[in-house]
Amino acid sequence: MSLAVHDRDAGLVASLNRGDRVAFAAIYRKYAAELYAYARRNISRKEDCEEIVQDIFESLWSRRESIRIEVSLRFYLLKMVKYKTIRYFRDRGVRKRHEEHFLLFESVYTMQPNLDAEVIQARIDRLISELPERCQVALRLRLREELSNPEIAKRMNITIKTVETYMFRAFNHIRASWHSYSKLVWPFFAIAFA
């Protein structure tokens, strides 16, 4: 970056620190498109990228008086996109796991409203305990710690294909063993092994 660009950006930041809306608008016009393009490298939904850029500029404005940029403004903003993108994927994973648990809860209690959660859990635990030990470990990592197949493979020091085999075996065992509750179990395991 040239010294002139750095000096102009430093001037914009100094004006931003004083609450200058014109400086803020200039920063937005100068960097918004680049920040959006940078986010789009990793995130396919354009609306999510737009939201990330909006969040960055909202944060920039709300912290305008305290922002001290030690590097270039461009680098500072791109770093914000990087961290927002990381947070986006982390939050998306958490949200997906919560959605899966909600779908399980909803399917269990709408199909069998009279069953107690403890009864359901006891039946599931009994069926899981009938599985081979390594298969049980993999399934419990999936259900209790909400780990993905690659995470389970890494934790157990096995291949992802082996984890998939364990999940398939567990699914078939539970499905075959729980005839009277197959409608209850099906949505749960369809979600759990997705």
Number of helices followed by number of strands (H, E) in the chain: 9, 0
Q: How many CB atoms lie within 10 A of CB 166?
A: 26
| Angstrom distance (rounded) from CA 42 to CA 86 | 10
Q: What is the 3-state secondary structure (H, E, C) of 96-130?
A: HHHHHHHHHHHHHHHHCCCCCHHHHHHHHHHHHHC
In the chain, the domains with their CATH numbers are 3-91 (1.10.1740.10), 112-192 (1.10.10.10)
| Closest-CA residue to 37 (of 28, 24, 29, 46) | 46
| Angstrom distance (rounded) from CA 55 to CA 24 | 14
Per-residue pLDDT of the chain (194 residues; tens, 9 = 90+): 454 555 788 888 899 999 999 999 999 999 999 999 999 888 888 898 999 999 999 999 999 888 888 778 998 999 999 889 888 887 776 566 555 555 544 544 444 545 566 776 777 778 888 889 999 999 888 878 878 888 899 999 999 889 888 888 887 777 677 654 545 444 444 444 44
Is the Cβ–Cβ distance between 139 and 170 less than 8 Å? yes
| Angstrom distance (rounded) from CA 97 to CA 83 | 21
Reported pTM: 0.49
